[in-house]
Structure 1
Amino acid sequence: MSHPLNTPLGRFGIVTSEDGPDGCLASIPAGAMTNPLTGAATIAPLAMLVDHVGGLVNHHRRQDDEWTVSSELALEVAPSALDVVATAPDVPVVGTSRPFGPKSDVALALCEFTHRGQTVATGTVRSCYISAPASLTPFPDGPTGPLPPGSLSDRMAVEVAESGGAAKVLLQHQDSVLNNSLNIVHGGVSAMALELVGSAAVNDGRGDAPMHTASLRVNFLRQFRSGSESRYVGTALRVGRRSGVADAQAVGPDGAVAIIARLTAYLADTR
Protein backbone atom coordinates (compact mmCIF):
# COMPACT_ATOMS: atom_id res chain seq x y z
CA MET A 1 0.00 0.00 0.00
CA SER A 2 1.46 3.33 -1.09
CA HIS A 3 0.75 6.13 1.36
CA PRO A 4 -0.56 9.55 0.30
CA LEU A 5 2.26 12.00 -0.30
CA ASN A 6 0.70 14.46 2.16
CA THR A 7 1.40 12.12 5.11
CA PRO A 8 4.68 11.47 6.97
CA LEU A 9 4.92 7.98 5.46
CA GLY A 10 4.21 9.15 1.92
CA ARG A 11 6.67 12.02 2.23
CA PHE A 12 9.51 9.48 2.61
CA GLY A 13 8.22 6.95 0.10
CA ILE A 14 7.25 4.22 2.56
CA VAL A 15 5.19 1.41 1.06
CA THR A 16 3.41 -0.94 3.49
CA SER A 17 2.83 -4.46 2.15
CA GLU A 18 1.63 -6.33 5.26
CA ASP A 19 -0.13 -4.76 8.19
CA GLY A 20 -1.47 -6.62 11.25
CA PRO A 21 -0.96 -7.69 14.89
CA ASP A 22 1.17 -10.71 13.93
CA GLY A 23 3.61 -8.84 11.72
CA CYS A 24 4.16 -5.92 9.40
CA LEU A 25 6.25 -5.42 6.26
CA ALA A 26 7.17 -2.12 4.63
CA SER A 27 9.94 -0.57 2.54
CA ILE A 28 11.68 2.79 2.24
CA PRO A 29 13.97 4.17 -0.50
CA ALA A 30 17.12 4.73 1.56
CA GLY A 31 19.69 5.13 -1.21
CA ALA A 32 21.06 8.43 -2.53
CA MET A 33 20.17 10.31 0.67
CA THR A 34 22.81 12.45 2.37
CA ASN A 35 23.20 14.05 5.77
CA PRO A 36 22.60 17.81 5.31
CA LEU A 37 25.23 18.52 7.99
CA THR A 38 28.02 16.49 6.40
CA GLY A 39 27.05 15.74 2.81
CA ALA A 40 27.82 12.06 3.46
CA ALA A 41 25.53 9.08 2.83
CA THR A 42 23.26 8.30 5.77
CA ILE A 43 21.33 5.41 7.29
CA ALA A 44 18.85 7.87 8.85
CA PRO A 45 15.90 6.60 6.72
CA LEU A 46 16.17 3.28 8.57
CA ALA A 47 15.25 5.12 11.77
CA MET A 48 12.02 6.19 10.07
CA LEU A 49 11.33 2.63 8.97
CA VAL A 50 11.98 1.00 12.36
CA ASP A 51 9.59 3.47 13.98
CA HIS A 52 6.94 2.61 11.38
CA VAL A 53 7.06 -1.19 11.22
CA GLY A 54 7.78 -1.66 14.93
CA GLY A 55 5.24 0.87 16.08
CA LEU A 56 2.62 -0.45 13.67
CA VAL A 57 2.66 -4.03 14.91
CA ASN A 58 2.41 -2.75 18.49
CA HIS A 59 -0.47 -0.48 17.48
CA HIS A 60 -2.42 -3.37 16.00
CA ARG A 61 -2.33 -5.16 19.36
CA ARG A 62 -4.27 -2.39 21.14
CA GLN A 63 -7.76 -2.75 22.58
CA ASP A 64 -10.65 -0.71 21.18
CA ASP A 65 -10.29 1.95 23.89
CA GLU A 66 -6.48 2.17 23.62
CA TRP A 67 -3.97 4.12 21.59
CA THR A 68 -0.19 3.72 21.34
CA VAL A 69 2.71 6.08 21.80
CA SER A 70 6.33 5.06 21.21
CA SER A 71 8.42 5.17 24.36
CA GLU A 72 11.75 3.97 22.94
CA LEU A 73 13.34 2.52 19.85
CA ALA A 74 16.70 1.01 19.02
CA LEU A 75 18.52 0.42 15.75
CA GLU A 76 21.57 -1.81 15.28
CA VAL A 77 23.31 -1.35 11.93
CA ALA A 78 25.64 -3.73 10.09
CA PRO A 79 29.08 -2.24 9.31
CA SER A 80 28.48 -2.79 5.59
CA ALA A 81 24.98 -1.29 5.48
CA LEU A 82 25.85 1.92 3.65
CA ASP A 83 27.97 0.07 1.10
CA VAL A 84 25.28 -2.56 0.49
CA VAL A 85 22.60 0.06 -0.16
CA ALA A 86 24.97 2.16 -2.29
CA THR A 87 25.52 -0.69 -4.74
CA ALA A 88 21.83 -0.50 -5.74
CA PRO A 89 20.50 2.83 -4.42
CA ASP A 90 17.23 2.59 -6.35
CA VAL A 91 16.27 -0.60 -4.51
CA PRO A 92 14.38 0.12 -1.27
CA VAL A 93 15.27 -1.31 2.12
CA VAL A 94 12.61 -3.74 3.37
CA GLY A 95 11.64 -3.86 7.03
CA THR A 96 9.71 -6.61 8.80
CA SER A 97 8.42 -6.65 12.36
CA ARG A 98 6.80 -9.10 14.73
CA PRO A 99 5.56 -8.94 18.30
CA PHE A 100 7.88 -10.10 21.06
CA GLY A 101 6.42 -11.28 24.35
CA PRO A 102 2.95 -10.70 25.76
CA LYS A 103 1.14 -7.37 25.57
CA SER A 104 0.49 -5.51 28.83
CA ASP A 105 0.54 -1.76 29.33
CA VAL A 106 3.51 -1.84 26.99
CA ALA A 107 4.49 -3.96 23.99
CA LEU A 108 7.77 -4.74 22.24
CA ALA A 109 8.32 -5.35 18.53
CA LEU A 110 11.36 -6.96 16.89
CA CYS A 111 12.41 -5.68 13.46
CA GLU A 112 14.78 -6.74 10.69
CA PHE A 113 15.87 -4.77 7.65
CA THR A 114 17.17 -6.23 4.41
CA HIS A 115 18.41 -4.95 1.06
CA ARG A 116 18.19 -7.41 -1.83
CA GLY A 117 17.95 -10.21 0.75
CA GLN A 118 20.99 -9.14 2.78
CA THR A 119 20.40 -8.11 6.39
CA VAL A 120 21.61 -4.56 6.99
CA ALA A 121 20.08 -3.75 10.39
CA THR A 122 17.88 -4.95 13.23
CA GLY A 123 15.77 -2.96 15.64
CA THR A 124 13.18 -2.83 18.39
CA VAL A 125 10.31 -0.51 19.24
CA ARG A 126 8.62 -0.35 22.63
CA SER A 127 5.17 1.24 22.77
CA CYS A 128 3.00 2.30 25.69
CA TYR A 129 -0.79 1.97 25.64
CA ILE A 130 -2.82 4.99 26.68
CA SER A 131 -6.54 5.74 26.71
CA ALA A 132 -7.69 6.54 23.20
CA PRO A 133 -7.70 10.34 22.77
CA ALA A 134 -11.08 11.99 22.35
CA SER A 135 -9.97 13.49 19.06
CA LEU A 136 -7.31 12.48 16.57
CA THR A 137 -6.11 14.20 13.44
CA PRO A 138 -6.73 11.72 10.61
CA PHE A 139 -4.12 11.37 7.92
CA PRO A 140 -5.51 13.26 4.91
CA ASP A 141 -6.54 11.49 1.75
CA GLY A 142 -4.50 12.41 -1.27
CA PRO A 143 -2.70 11.17 -4.32
CA THR A 144 -0.04 8.51 -4.22
CA GLY A 145 2.67 8.27 -6.80
CA PRO A 146 6.41 8.62 -7.35
CA LEU A 147 8.42 10.01 -4.47
CA PRO A 148 8.64 13.80 -4.89
CA PRO A 149 12.05 15.27 -5.68
CA GLY A 150 14.08 16.92 -2.99
CA SER A 151 16.83 16.30 -0.49
CA LEU A 152 16.38 14.64 2.87
CA SER A 153 16.43 18.04 4.55
CA ASP A 154 13.69 19.25 2.17
CA ARG A 155 11.45 16.33 3.07
CA MET A 156 12.15 16.68 6.79
CA ALA A 157 11.70 20.48 6.76
CA VAL A 158 14.98 20.92 8.63
CA GLU A 159 17.65 23.56 8.25
CA VAL A 160 21.29 23.51 9.29
CA ALA A 161 21.82 26.05 12.08
CA GLU A 162 24.93 27.88 13.17
CA SER A 163 25.63 26.35 16.57
CA GLY A 164 28.48 28.58 17.68
CA GLY A 165 30.30 25.59 19.17
CA ALA A 166 31.02 21.91 18.80
CA ALA A 167 27.34 20.90 18.76
CA LYS A 168 25.61 20.09 15.47
CA VAL A 169 22.13 21.59 15.13
CA LEU A 170 19.18 21.14 12.80
CA LEU A 171 16.16 23.44 13.10
CA GLN A 172 12.77 21.72 12.78
CA HIS A 173 10.46 23.99 10.81
CA GLN A 174 6.70 23.63 10.94
CA ASP A 175 5.21 21.35 8.29
CA SER A 176 1.84 19.73 8.99
CA VAL A 177 2.67 16.85 6.65
CA LEU A 178 5.27 15.68 9.19
CA ASN A 179 2.79 15.45 12.07
CA ASN A 180 1.23 12.21 13.27
CA SER A 181 -2.40 11.68 14.28
CA LEU A 182 -1.68 13.30 17.69
CA ASN A 183 -0.62 16.43 15.76
CA ILE A 184 2.99 16.27 16.93
CA VAL A 185 6.13 15.61 14.88
CA HIS A 186 6.13 11.98 13.73
CA GLY A 187 8.50 9.91 15.86
CA GLY A 188 10.27 8.50 12.83
CA VAL A 189 11.08 11.99 11.57
CA SER A 190 12.58 12.92 14.93
CA ALA A 191 14.55 9.66 15.10
CA MET A 192 16.04 10.40 11.67
CA ALA A 193 17.04 13.90 12.72
CA LEU A 194 18.67 12.64 15.92
CA GLU A 195 20.75 10.22 13.87
CA LEU A 196 21.79 13.04 11.54
CA VAL A 197 23.00 15.40 14.28
CA GLY A 198 24.59 12.60 16.32
CA SER A 199 26.55 11.16 13.40
CA ALA A 200 27.60 14.67 12.33
CA ALA A 201 28.92 15.35 15.84
CA VAL A 202 31.16 12.27 15.95
CA ASN A 203 32.41 12.94 12.41
CA ASP A 204 33.25 16.60 12.94
CA GLY A 205 36.64 17.27 11.35
CA ARG A 206 37.28 13.65 10.35
CA GLY A 207 37.42 14.34 6.61
CA ASP A 208 38.16 11.17 4.64
CA ALA A 209 38.07 8.87 7.69
CA PRO A 210 34.33 8.82 8.52
CA MET A 211 32.71 6.75 11.23
CA HIS A 212 29.53 4.87 10.36
CA THR A 213 26.57 4.71 12.73
CA ALA A 214 26.45 1.33 14.48
CA SER A 215 23.65 1.89 16.98
CA LEU A 216 20.99 4.45 17.76
CA ARG A 217 18.86 4.34 20.92
CA VAL A 218 16.03 6.82 21.28
CA ASN A 219 13.83 7.64 24.28
CA PHE A 220 10.65 9.66 23.73
CA LEU A 221 10.12 11.72 26.89
CA ARG A 222 7.28 14.05 25.91
CA GLN A 223 5.49 15.42 22.88
CA PHE A 224 7.77 17.19 20.39
CA ARG A 225 6.27 20.01 18.37
CA SER A 226 7.82 21.97 15.54
CA GLY A 227 8.29 25.71 15.79
CA SER A 228 10.69 28.59 15.33
CA GLU A 229 12.80 27.42 18.31
CA SER A 230 12.44 23.65 17.79
CA ARG A 231 15.74 21.95 17.12
CA TYR A 232 17.84 18.80 17.21
CA VAL A 233 21.23 19.08 18.90
CA GLY A 234 24.04 16.53 18.61
CA THR A 235 27.08 16.61 20.90
CA ALA A 236 30.07 14.29 20.82
CA LEU A 237 30.80 12.66 24.18
CA ARG A 238 33.96 10.89 23.12
CA VAL A 239 35.69 10.43 19.77
CA GLY A 240 38.66 8.13 19.48
CA ARG A 241 40.63 6.81 16.55
CA ARG A 242 38.14 4.08 15.69
CA SER A 243 34.93 4.83 17.57
CA GLY A 244 32.79 7.67 18.80
CA VAL A 245 29.75 8.25 21.00
CA ALA A 246 27.33 11.17 20.80
CA ASP A 247 24.27 12.41 22.62
CA ALA A 248 21.40 13.94 20.68
CA GLN A 249 18.33 15.83 21.86
CA ALA A 250 15.12 17.15 20.36
CA VAL A 251 14.31 20.46 22.03
CA GLY A 252 10.80 21.85 21.69
CA PRO A 253 9.72 25.47 21.17
CA ASP A 254 9.41 25.89 24.95
CA GLY A 255 13.05 24.94 25.46
CA ALA A 256 12.23 21.59 27.09
CA VAL A 257 13.99 18.43 25.96
CA ALA A 258 11.37 16.16 24.40
CA ILE A 259 13.44 13.27 22.99
CA ILE A 260 16.95 12.00 23.76
CA ALA A 261 19.21 9.60 21.89
CA ARG A 262 22.62 7.94 22.20
CA LEU A 263 24.53 7.16 19.01
CA THR A 264 27.60 4.97 18.65
CA ALA A 265 29.73 4.97 15.50
CA TYR A 266 32.82 3.10 14.31
CA LEU A 267 35.47 3.75 11.71
CA ALA A 268 34.23 2.55 8.34
CA ASP A 269 35.75 -0.89 7.72
CA THR A 270 33.77 -3.63 5.94
CA ARG A 271 36.48 -6.30 5.84
Structure 2
Amino acid sequence: MRESTHHGPEPRLGLTFSQNGDGTVSWHQPVADQFVDPSGRFATGALAVLVDSGLGAENHRRRPEGMWTVTTELRLDLLARPREGSTGLGVRTDHLGDDGHCLTTRGDVLDDDGEVVAAGLVKSMEIAGVVDPDDYDDEPPWPSALAPGTLAEVLCLTVDHHDDGPGDTRAVEAVIAPEPALANPLGNLHGGVFAAVAEVAGAAVFPHERDVSSSSLDVRYVRQIPLVGPVTVRAEALHDGRSWGIAQAVTRDARGRVCAVASVTVYGRR
Protein backbone atom coordinates (compact mmCIF):
# COMPACT_ATOMS: atom_id res chain seq x y z
CA MET A 1 0.00 0.00 0.00
CA ARG A 2 1.30 3.46 -0.88
CA GLU A 3 1.98 5.96 1.88
CA SER A 4 -0.65 8.57 2.70
CA THR A 5 -0.12 12.07 1.28
CA HIS A 6 -2.78 13.68 3.47
CA HIS A 7 -1.43 16.53 5.60
CA GLY A 8 -4.67 18.18 6.73
CA PRO A 9 -5.94 19.10 10.20
CA GLU A 10 -6.93 15.51 11.05
CA PRO A 11 -3.39 14.18 11.60
CA ARG A 12 -2.41 17.56 13.10
CA LEU A 13 -5.07 17.01 15.80
CA GLY A 14 -4.03 13.37 16.21
CA LEU A 15 -7.06 11.95 14.40
CA THR A 16 -6.61 8.55 12.74
CA PHE A 17 -8.96 6.08 11.09
CA SER A 18 -8.89 2.39 10.26
CA GLN A 19 -10.91 0.18 7.93
CA ASN A 20 -12.88 -2.61 9.60
CA GLY A 21 -13.54 -6.01 8.12
CA ASP A 22 -17.25 -5.28 7.73
CA GLY A 23 -16.58 -2.20 5.61
CA THR A 24 -17.13 0.32 8.38
CA VAL A 25 -14.52 2.87 9.46
CA SER A 26 -13.32 3.49 13.01
CA TRP A 27 -12.01 6.92 14.06
CA HIS A 28 -9.82 7.79 17.04
CA GLN A 29 -8.73 11.07 18.61
CA PRO A 30 -6.40 11.26 21.63
CA VAL A 31 -7.39 13.38 24.60
CA ALA A 32 -4.50 15.79 25.04
CA ASP A 33 -3.71 19.51 25.35
CA GLN A 34 -5.49 20.30 22.06
CA PHE A 35 -8.77 20.24 23.99
CA VAL A 36 -7.76 23.28 26.07
CA ASP A 37 -8.72 26.76 24.84
CA PRO A 38 -6.86 30.01 25.67
CA SER A 39 -8.84 30.46 28.91
CA GLY A 40 -7.93 26.97 30.14
CA ARG A 41 -11.46 25.68 29.48
CA PHE A 42 -12.24 22.29 27.90
CA ALA A 43 -13.19 23.35 24.37
CA THR A 44 -16.10 21.59 22.71
CA GLY A 45 -14.74 22.92 19.43
CA ALA A 46 -11.82 20.51 19.66
CA LEU A 47 -14.32 17.78 18.73
CA ALA A 48 -15.42 19.56 15.55
CA VAL A 49 -12.83 18.12 13.16
CA LEU A 50 -13.51 14.61 14.49
CA VAL A 51 -17.27 15.04 13.95
CA ASP A 52 -16.88 16.73 10.54
CA SER A 53 -14.43 14.10 9.30
CA GLY A 54 -16.03 11.01 10.85
CA LEU A 55 -19.65 11.79 10.02
CA GLY A 56 -18.76 13.51 6.76
CA ALA A 57 -16.85 10.40 5.66
CA GLU A 58 -20.01 8.33 6.11
CA ASN A 59 -21.86 10.71 3.79
CA HIS A 60 -18.96 10.76 1.33
CA ARG A 61 -18.69 7.00 0.92
CA ARG A 62 -22.42 6.78 0.15
CA ARG A 63 -22.45 9.49 -2.51
CA PRO A 64 -23.46 8.71 -6.12
CA GLU A 65 -20.70 7.58 -8.46
CA GLY A 66 -18.54 10.40 -9.79
CA MET A 67 -19.79 12.95 -7.26
CA TRP A 68 -17.96 14.83 -4.50
CA THR A 69 -19.39 16.01 -1.19
CA VAL A 70 -18.99 19.20 0.82
CA THR A 71 -20.28 19.86 4.33
CA THR A 72 -23.12 22.37 4.40
CA GLU A 73 -24.29 21.94 8.01
CA LEU A 74 -22.67 20.71 11.22
CA ARG A 75 -24.16 20.41 14.68
CA LEU A 76 -22.34 19.40 17.85
CA ASP A 77 -23.78 19.06 21.36
CA LEU A 78 -21.54 18.43 24.35
CA LEU A 79 -23.13 16.03 26.85
CA ALA A 80 -20.18 15.48 29.22
CA ARG A 81 -16.46 16.07 29.26
CA PRO A 82 -14.23 13.04 28.72
CA ARG A 83 -13.67 11.32 32.04
CA GLU A 84 -10.49 11.95 33.99
CA GLY A 85 -7.74 9.72 32.62
CA SER A 86 -9.43 9.10 29.26
CA THR A 87 -6.91 8.31 26.54
CA GLY A 88 -9.00 8.71 23.45
CA LEU A 89 -12.35 9.28 21.73
CA GLY A 90 -14.13 7.46 18.93
CA VAL A 91 -17.20 7.96 16.76
CA ARG A 92 -20.33 5.85 16.32
CA THR A 93 -22.26 6.81 13.17
CA ASP A 94 -25.83 6.42 11.97
CA HIS A 95 -26.37 7.34 8.32
CA LEU A 96 -29.87 8.76 7.89
CA GLY A 97 -30.17 8.87 4.12
CA ASP A 98 -29.78 10.68 0.79
CA ASP A 99 -32.54 12.81 -0.72
CA GLY A 100 -30.79 13.01 -4.09
CA HIS A 101 -29.11 16.31 -3.23
CA CYS A 102 -27.84 16.03 0.36
CA LEU A 103 -26.67 13.16 2.55
CA THR A 104 -27.11 13.24 6.33
CA THR A 105 -25.34 11.32 9.09
CA ARG A 106 -25.73 11.69 12.81
CA GLY A 107 -23.46 10.12 15.41
CA ASP A 108 -22.06 9.98 18.92
CA VAL A 109 -18.58 10.77 20.22
CA LEU A 110 -17.60 8.03 22.65
CA ASP A 111 -15.10 8.02 25.49
CA ASP A 112 -12.68 5.10 25.67
CA ASP A 113 -15.03 3.38 28.13
CA GLY A 114 -17.96 3.60 25.69
CA GLU A 115 -19.71 6.53 27.38
CA VAL A 116 -21.24 9.15 25.07
CA VAL A 117 -19.66 12.60 25.56
CA ALA A 118 -21.15 14.43 22.56
CA ALA A 119 -23.70 14.08 19.77
CA GLY A 120 -23.25 15.39 16.25
CA LEU A 121 -24.88 15.72 12.84
CA VAL A 122 -23.34 16.49 9.45
CA LYS A 123 -25.20 17.27 6.24
CA SER A 124 -23.23 17.05 2.99
CA MET A 125 -24.21 18.31 -0.46
CA GLU A 126 -23.42 16.32 -3.58
CA ILE A 127 -21.51 18.23 -6.28
CA ALA A 128 -19.84 17.24 -9.54
CA GLY A 129 -16.63 18.17 -11.34
CA VAL A 130 -14.57 19.34 -8.35
CA VAL A 131 -11.80 16.76 -7.97
CA ASP A 132 -11.16 13.17 -9.00
CA PRO A 133 -13.18 11.39 -6.30
CA ASP A 134 -11.82 7.95 -7.14
CA ASP A 135 -8.21 9.03 -6.64
CA TYR A 136 -9.06 10.55 -3.26
CA ASP A 137 -10.89 7.38 -2.22
CA ASP A 138 -7.65 5.44 -2.68
CA GLU A 139 -5.93 7.52 0.01
CA PRO A 140 -4.69 5.09 2.67
CA PRO A 141 -4.97 5.74 6.44
CA TRP A 142 -2.58 8.45 7.59
CA PRO A 143 -0.34 8.29 10.66
CA SER A 144 -1.01 10.57 13.63
CA ALA A 145 1.03 13.75 13.53
CA LEU A 146 -0.40 15.39 16.66
CA ALA A 147 1.02 18.89 16.98
CA PRO A 148 2.01 19.84 20.53
CA GLY A 149 0.18 22.60 22.35
CA THR A 150 -3.27 23.88 23.19
CA LEU A 151 -6.09 24.16 20.67
CA ALA A 152 -5.14 27.73 19.71
CA GLU A 153 -1.53 26.68 19.11
CA VAL A 154 -2.48 23.63 17.05
CA LEU A 155 -4.88 25.72 14.93
CA CYS A 156 -2.41 28.63 14.57
CA LEU A 157 -4.94 30.90 16.23
CA THR A 158 -4.75 34.30 17.93
CA VAL A 159 -7.71 35.64 19.91
CA ASP A 160 -8.35 39.36 20.53
CA HIS A 161 -11.07 40.89 22.70
CA HIS A 162 -12.92 44.07 21.72
CA ASP A 163 -15.71 46.26 23.09
CA ASP A 164 -17.28 47.15 19.76
CA GLY A 165 -20.09 44.61 19.71
CA PRO A 166 -23.75 45.66 19.42
CA GLY A 167 -24.52 48.27 22.07
CA ASP A 168 -20.85 48.42 23.10
CA THR A 169 -20.95 44.78 24.18
CA ARG A 170 -18.00 42.44 24.13
CA ALA A 171 -16.80 41.00 20.81
CA VAL A 172 -14.01 38.58 19.93
CA GLU A 173 -11.92 38.28 16.77
CA ALA A 174 -10.07 35.01 16.26
CA VAL A 175 -7.52 35.03 13.44
CA ILE A 176 -6.35 31.78 11.81
CA ALA A 177 -2.92 31.90 10.19
CA PRO A 178 -2.85 30.53 6.59
CA GLU A 179 -1.21 27.23 7.59
CA PRO A 180 -1.56 24.72 4.69
CA ALA A 181 -2.14 21.88 7.17
CA LEU A 182 -5.49 23.48 8.08
CA ALA A 183 -6.86 23.09 4.55
CA ASN A 184 -9.33 20.59 3.15
CA PRO A 185 -8.56 18.56 -0.01
CA LEU A 186 -9.72 21.49 -2.16
CA GLY A 187 -7.21 23.87 -0.55
CA ASN A 188 -9.74 25.93 1.42
CA LEU A 189 -10.07 26.15 5.19
CA HIS A 190 -11.30 22.83 6.60
CA GLY A 191 -14.90 23.11 7.78
CA GLY A 192 -14.09 21.42 11.08
CA VAL A 193 -11.38 24.01 11.74
CA PHE A 194 -13.83 26.88 11.23
CA ALA A 195 -16.29 25.15 13.58
CA ALA A 196 -13.59 24.71 16.23
CA VAL A 197 -12.51 28.36 16.01
CA ALA A 198 -16.12 29.60 16.02
CA GLU A 199 -16.75 27.71 19.28
CA VAL A 200 -13.59 29.11 20.90
CA ALA A 201 -14.44 32.68 19.81
CA GLY A 202 -18.12 32.34 20.72
CA ALA A 203 -17.39 31.08 24.23
CA ALA A 204 -14.77 33.82 24.72
CA VAL A 205 -17.40 36.52 24.14
CA PHE A 206 -18.86 35.95 27.60
CA PRO A 207 -17.32 37.39 30.77
CA HIS A 208 -14.57 35.40 32.42
CA GLU A 209 -16.48 35.40 35.71
CA ARG A 210 -19.03 33.07 34.09
CA ASP A 211 -18.22 29.38 34.50
CA VAL A 212 -18.65 28.73 30.78
CA SER A 213 -19.57 25.22 29.68
CA SER A 214 -20.15 25.21 25.93
CA SER A 215 -23.25 23.16 25.23
CA SER A 216 -23.92 23.39 21.51
CA LEU A 217 -22.45 24.49 18.21
CA ASP A 218 -24.53 24.92 15.05
CA VAL A 219 -22.70 25.78 11.80
CA ARG A 220 -23.85 26.68 8.29
CA TYR A 221 -21.30 26.73 5.46
CA VAL A 222 -22.39 29.19 2.78
CA ARG A 223 -19.37 29.13 0.46
CA GLN A 224 -15.72 28.06 0.51
CA ILE A 225 -13.42 29.80 3.00
CA PRO A 226 -10.23 30.85 1.14
CA LEU A 227 -6.98 30.11 2.95
CA VAL A 228 -4.77 32.38 0.86
CA GLY A 229 -4.31 34.70 3.86
CA PRO A 230 -5.32 34.96 7.51
CA VAL A 231 -8.96 34.05 8.18
CA THR A 232 -10.82 36.20 10.72
CA VAL A 233 -13.75 34.77 12.68
CA ARG A 234 -15.70 37.46 14.54
CA ALA A 235 -18.03 36.53 17.40
CA GLU A 236 -20.64 38.74 19.08
CA ALA A 237 -23.18 38.04 21.81
CA LEU A 238 -26.82 37.66 20.82
CA HIS A 239 -27.94 36.93 24.38
CA ASP A 240 -25.97 37.26 27.63
CA GLY A 241 -28.20 36.20 30.50
CA ARG A 242 -27.44 35.19 34.05
CA SER A 243 -27.61 31.46 33.32
CA TRP A 244 -26.81 31.07 29.63
CA GLY A 245 -25.70 32.93 26.54
CA ILE A 246 -25.80 32.74 22.75
CA ALA A 247 -23.08 34.05 20.45
CA GLN A 248 -22.86 34.28 16.68
CA ALA A 249 -19.55 33.76 14.89
CA VAL A 250 -19.04 34.73 11.23
CA THR A 251 -16.24 34.66 8.70
CA ARG A 252 -16.29 36.61 5.43
CA ASP A 253 -14.26 36.61 2.23
CA ALA A 254 -12.32 39.55 0.79
CA ARG A 255 -15.53 40.87 -0.84
CA GLY A 256 -17.35 40.95 2.49
CA ARG A 257 -19.57 37.97 1.68
CA VAL A 258 -20.45 35.54 4.48
CA CYS A 259 -18.60 32.25 4.04
CA ALA A 260 -19.76 30.49 7.21
CA VAL A 261 -21.81 31.35 10.27
CA ALA A 262 -22.09 29.55 13.60
CA SER A 263 -24.32 29.80 16.65
CA VAL A 264 -22.60 28.97 19.95
CA THR A 265 -24.71 28.33 23.06
CA VAL A 266 -23.06 28.30 26.48
CA TYR A 267 -24.43 27.52 29.91
CA GLY A 268 -22.98 28.62 33.24
CA ARG A 269 -24.06 31.12 35.87
CA ARG A 270 -22.07 34.28 36.41
Residue in 2 that maps onto 1:110: 106
1:126 pairs with one of 123, 129, 138: 123
Separation of aligned partners in 1, 2:73 and 2:131: 24
SS at match of 1:224: coil
Question: Do the aligned partners of 1:158 and 1:171 also contact (CA within 8 Å) in 2?
Answer: yes
Question: Post-superposition shift, 1:195?
Answer: 0.7
Matches within 5 A, 1:58-207: 58-78=59-79, 81-82=80-81, 85=82, 87-89=84-86, 91-115=87-111, 116-134=113-131, 144-145=143-144, 147-161=146-160, 163-165=162-164, 166-201=170-205, 203-206=206-209
CA distance in 1, matches of 2:83, 2:117: 12
TM, length-normalised to structure 1: 0.84
Identity of aligned residues (%): 26
* Counterpart Cα distance in 2 of 1:156 and 1:98: 29
State the TM-score, normalizing by the size of structure 2: 0.85
Read off the aligned partner of 2:196 and give its amino acid letter. M
Distance 1:67 1:204 in 2: 42
Note the C-alpha offset of 1:22. 7.3
Does the CA contact (< 8 Å) of 1:66 and 1:129 recur in 2?
yes
Deviation of 1:148 after TM superposition, in Å, equals: 3.0
Q: CA deviation at 1:149?
A: 1.7
Q: CA deviation at 1:229?
A: 5.1
What CA deviation, in whole Å up to 9, does each residue of 1:55-107 have, x standing for no partner? 100000122320001110111111xx22xx25125x11111223103441111
Say if 2:28 and 2:89, in contact at 8 Å, map to a contact too: yes
Match of 1:44 in 2: 45
Q: Report if aligned partners of 1:198, 1:248 keep a CA contact under 8 Å in 2.
A: yes
Contact 2:9 2:49 in 1 (8 A): no
Cα separation, partners in 2 of 1:142 and 1:24, compared to 1, 3 Å: closer
Which structure 2 segments of 5+ residues have no match? Answer: 165-169
Unaligned runs of 5+ in 1: none
Contact 1:213 1:266 survives alignment (8 Å):
yes
2-side partners of 1:143 and 1:111: how far apart?
Answer: 22
Residue 21 to residue 178, structure 1, CA distance change in 2 (3 Å): farther
Kindly tell me the number of residue pairs found equivalent between the two proteins. Answer: 258
